[in-house]
Chain A
């Protein structure tokens, strides 16, 4: 596969929940293409099918009409190359933070078959990753002994431990306080700059979208349609200080106008 071909292609995709096309139309004729290593943010009013889009890309849902291609292959079943994180950290309460982060390695090949033999190597890798998100020394704590922000950091580590080609984030910072959220933006940017996975971030926070993404898609209220595509060409690494600069504010405002527009035209 040539490196210039788009990594994710969503072509005229509609999804109807419920049987025989009689249910809710969650997404209508959505089309977008994402390059390898691109950081994409998807924003829109709540209930507009943003999360549906992630499920379509990951193959957890199959489209009612249209096609989804990832890495040149049509998506017909759940992909095996995804890392996912949600608004809830969804860590396993019976596993320590370290064991939670190691979970994907017990499932994804080629790691799974070597896991027992090379456990030390994987543990070292996981500890290093935990240290980069500021969780050194918390490896043996259980998730319920951690604060919400720390749980979400562990969740990010779990999503990234197996170096996925595709990282799908569904409002991962939605439940956190403003300071913790901004902390995690920086951490996510650092991690992304290091490994350059393709990221799709679903969010309703426009500053978050502009701060993190290369490209921001705005989706209309249900049934979701892609109404605009904005390229964010601010230099990287971006700092929190940048978020107060005029050009940043301008972009966030422009997105905001588009969203209020799609909300009012409903």
Chain B
């Protein structure tokens, strides 16, 4: 058996190890900074531009969360509708898949024409890129209710809304939370893609302007901030998931 302390420290050692490897590669092959800065240079850049990085990452965080929030609300409602009606499912699915196949970066220019440069296109891109997995997962959770359970409910005279409320929604929760973890990281991708194309603020904008000045360490500093934000949000949803749907990720405890 792997020791518990090893499992707990492993993520940190692996991350640190990769950074050390990165540093070594840069030094050994004497890679120029404007191609690939070393982790130490990136950290230096983080420290040097501490203030602008903070403002811009806050902008990105808020943009992402607003877009993500819209995606959760919309995805949940659409998922419930699609999952509880076969007809709606069949009717909407091709359209949704088609829409999801469109690269969202291609939509940003259209959004800019409609809403101008700035926060609104970024929010909308974050929303558009992240609602699909939520819809699919919630719909799957609803559509896979055991037929016997439905029979039990129907033979008690349960209305459709009661079956949805008492069985469907709780049952879809693990699927919903699984999708949130995917959706939050996608939302970051969406808002940053939009910021790099059309914005005056946000980490994406910061990175694009740094790159046009060949300040590659700052570009990487931006990447690091995005990665850290992504991990933090992801872990947050893992925590919420564990609290709400503990029954779905249960251990093997058994009373005999």
**A contact set with B: CB distance below 8 Å:** 55, 58-60, 78-80, 82-84, 86, 88, 90, 92-94, 103-104, 106-109, 138, 141-142, 144-147, 150, 158, 162, 168
In angstroms, Cα B255 to Cα A138, docked, is 9
Q: A78-B154, A80-B155, A94-B248 are in contact. List 18 more A-B contacts (CB 8 A).
A: A60-B154, A60-B155, A79-B155, A79-B157, A86-B152, A88-B146, A92-B170, A92-B171, A94-B170, A94-B171, A94-B173, A94-B245, A107-B156, A107-B157, A142-B250, A147-B255, A150-B255, A162-B156
B155 touches A168 (CB 8 A): yes
B254 contacts A by Cβ under 8 Å: yes
> Which of B149, B166, B173 meets A106, CB within 8 Å?
B166
> Which of B155, B171, B253 meets A58, CB within 8 Å?
B155
Closest 6 CB pairs of A and B: A80-B157, A82-B155, A78-B154, A107-B156, A93-B247, A94-B247
Number of interface residues of B (CB under 8 A): 25
In angstroms, Cα B157 to Cα A55, docked, is 14
In angstroms, Cα B247 to Cα A144, docked, is 8
Total residue contacts A-B, CB cutoff 8 A = 73
B153 contacts A by Cβ under 8 Å: yes
Q: Which residues of B contact A92 (CB under 8 A)?
A: 149, 167, 170-171
Main secondary structure of the interface of A (DSSP, over half): loop
Q: A158 to nearest B CB, angstroms?
A: 8
In angstroms, Cα B248 to Cα A58, docked, is 31
In angstroms, Cα B248 to Cα A168, docked, is 29
Q: A176 to nearest B CB, angstroms?
A: 14
> Which of A59, A88, A147, A158 meets B256, CB within 8 Å?
A147
Instruction: Known contacts A103-B166, A145-B254; decide if A86 and B148 are in contact (CB<8 Å).
Output: yes
Q: Which residues of B contact A60 (CB under 8 A)?
A: 151, 154-155
B162 touches A55 (CB 8 A): no
In angstroms, Cα B152 to Cα A60, docked, is 10
In angstroms, Cα B146 to Cα A125, docked, is 28
B155 touches A145 (CB 8 A): no
Chain B CB within 10 Å, residue with most, of A94, A150, A162: A94
A90 touches B157 (CB 8 A): no
B255 touches A141 (CB 8 A): yes
Q: A136 to nearest B CB, angstroms?
A: 13
In angstroms, Cα B247 to Cα A212, docked, is 36
A93 touches B155 (CB 8 A): no
B158 contacts A by Cβ under 8 Å: yes
In angstroms, Cα B69 to Cα A101, docked, is 36
Q: B254 to nearest A CB, angstroms?
A: 6
Q: B8 to nearest A CB, angstroms?
A: 26
In angstroms, Cα B148 to Cα A84, docked, is 9
B162 touches A107 (CB 8 A): yes
Q: Which residues of B contact A79 (CB under 8 A)?
A: 155, 157
Chain A CB within 10 Å, residue with most, of B152, B173, B256: B152
Q: B83 to nearest A CB, angstroms?
A: 17
A90 touches B146 (CB 8 A): yes
B255 touches A78 (CB 8 A): no
- 9 A–B contacts from the bound complex (CB under 8 Å): A60-B151, A78-B154, A80-B156, A83-B155, A92-B170, A93-B250, A94-B248, A138-B255, A168-B155
> Which of A78, A93, A141 meets B248, CB within 8 Å?
A93
A107 touches B253 (CB 8 A): no
Q: A70 to nearest B CB, angstroms?
A: 12
Q: Which residues of B contact A150 (CB under 8 A)?
A: 255
Q: Which residues of A contact B250 (CB under 8 A)?
A: 93, 142, 144
In angstroms, Cα B148 to Cα A86, docked, is 8
Q: A249 to nearest B CB, angstroms?
A: 33
